[in-house]
Structure 1
Amino acid sequence: MKLLRASDYKRMPWKNGGGETVEIAVSPDGAGLADFDWRVSMATVATDGPFSVFPGIDRTLSILDGVGMALFIEGRAPERLTQESEPLPFRADALSSATLIDGTITDLNVMTRRGRFIHSVQRVSINGNKVVELKGGTSLVLCHRGDVGIDGTVLGAGDCLLVSNEGAGRRSISGKAQLFFIAIEAI
């Protein structure tokens, strides 16, 4: 298990230059925007506009802060994405754009290289004690709000716990927080 502190995340410009992204974790270590196997990041979106195109990548988007956005994805009906919405998976190489509903938002992006990795994202609220099962592959637990302890490791808001194959299994969680569970598996 590896604790990733919010204060240590890497800040960088969006691929299309339209804003800034905060990289939480990437594989392989040090990979750039063109050669990652998987990537987890957050972005602040302050204006309407197009999404960066990532050929061969699958993406899941979740709203962390702000009211939300209307998302227009090539070949699909428009989607309204808010903090209450389920995380939304889509192809990152489909032309996509967003219109903000009511001001700036922060989103969570999980991206994996199609044909090599798959991923899932789940939003979970914790209030008390809970036991969860982390599967093989790579699991990330992002603490969005609140504080939580996972087998004695304390995560504050914005912190993330990275768990690889050898750390898979049942984990004890306690505290009051909103978490995102991200599972990434090689195929």
Structure 2
Amino acid sequence: MATRVIRNQDLVRVPWKNGHGTTAEVAAFPEGSGFETFGWRVSMADVASDGPFSRFPGIDRTLIVVEGGGIELDVEGVSYRLDQGTPKLSFSGDDITAGRLLSGPIRDLNVMTRREQFRHRTRFVESGVALLSEDTDAAFIVPLDGSFDVTVDSAIHSLGRLDALMLDATQDLIALSGTGRAVLVEIAPDLS
């Protein structure tokens, strides 16, 4: 199975689609695609002030707070508080969304998939063994609290906090060893 380590310090920050913050692309498909053409995209965004989020029509999104005191998202008039206790929210990129920081800037992990092409799942994992769903095309493991060693096909990949390991589709068991939690992202074709 093919793997690729993506180091957090190597990510290049670019302006948001709406210019109100910055984002760093971890990976996208097809490679080199822009905001209007990706099938899926995994990125990390820095939110330094309150304000509107970029709209992404036809896109399903999951936002996970990975640094900072949290954010309150207003999605089509409904408020959601995201913090260390409840750091994750999935919502439609079609929705009018705005954020209000709870106590200073945050960094978040964003997973976006284009409806009718791909769908995604995210879950928190700890040391142990993870098994990817059989329909997974691509997967990412991102440590949140500390370093992780991820064993795939007898090779050990050492990840620092907020590094990412990209995996091609597999049904193999993936051994995880580390402290704290990591996010497991699975991207699959949308067959609905």
Post-superposition offset of 1:86: 4.8
Post-superposition offset of 1:124: 2.7
| Corresponding position of 1:30 | 32
Is 2:174 the counterpart of 1:161? no
2:148 aligned partner, one-letter code: V
Task: Give, in whole Å, the separation in 2 of the partners of 1:112 and 1:84.
Answer: 25
Give 3-state SS (helix, strand or coil) of 1:181's partner: strand
Instruction: Work out which of the residue numbers 34, 49, 52 in structure 2 matches 1:50.
Output: 52
Instruction: Work out which of the residue numbers 182, 186, 189 in structure 2 matches 1:183.
Output: 186
Pair 1:32–1:88, CA change in 2 (3 A): same
Task: Give, in whole Å, the separation in 2 of the partners of 1:137 and 1:168.
Answer: 10
Stretches of structure 2 lacking an aligned partner (at least 5 in a row): none
1:142 aligned partner, one-letter code: V
Q: What is the Cα-based RMSD across aligned positions, in Å? A: 1.4
Give 3-state SS (helix, strand or coil) of 1:146's partner: coil
Q: Which runs of 4+ in 1 moved over 4 A?
A: none
Task: Give, in whole Å, the separation in 2 of the partners of 1:41 and 1:78.
Answer: 23
Conserved in 2, the CA contact under 8 Å of 1:70 and 1:79? Answer: yes
How many residues end up aligned between the 2 structures? 182
Is 2:14 the counterpart of 1:12? yes
The TM-score with structure 1 as length reference comes to: 0.92
Post-superposition offset of 1:10: 2.7
Task: Give, in whole Å, the separation in 2 of the partners of 1:55 and 1:42.
Answer: 19
| Corresponding position of 1:82 | 83
Give 3-state SS (helix, strand or coil) of 1:31's partner: coil
Conserved in 2, the CA contact under 8 Å of 1:112 and 1:119? Answer: yes
Is 2:175 the counterpart of 1:147? no
Give 3-state SS (helix, strand or coil) of 2:49's partner: coil
Post-superposition offset of 1:68: 0.8
Post-superposition offset of 1:139: 0.9
Conserved in 2, the CA contact under 8 Å of 1:62 and 1:83? Answer: no
| Farther-moved stretch of structure 1 (4-13 vs 87-96) | 4-13
Post-superposition offset of 1:23: 0.9
Post-superposition offset of 1:177: 3.6
Task: Give, in whole Å, the separation in 2 of the partners of 1:52 and 1:91.
Answer: 11
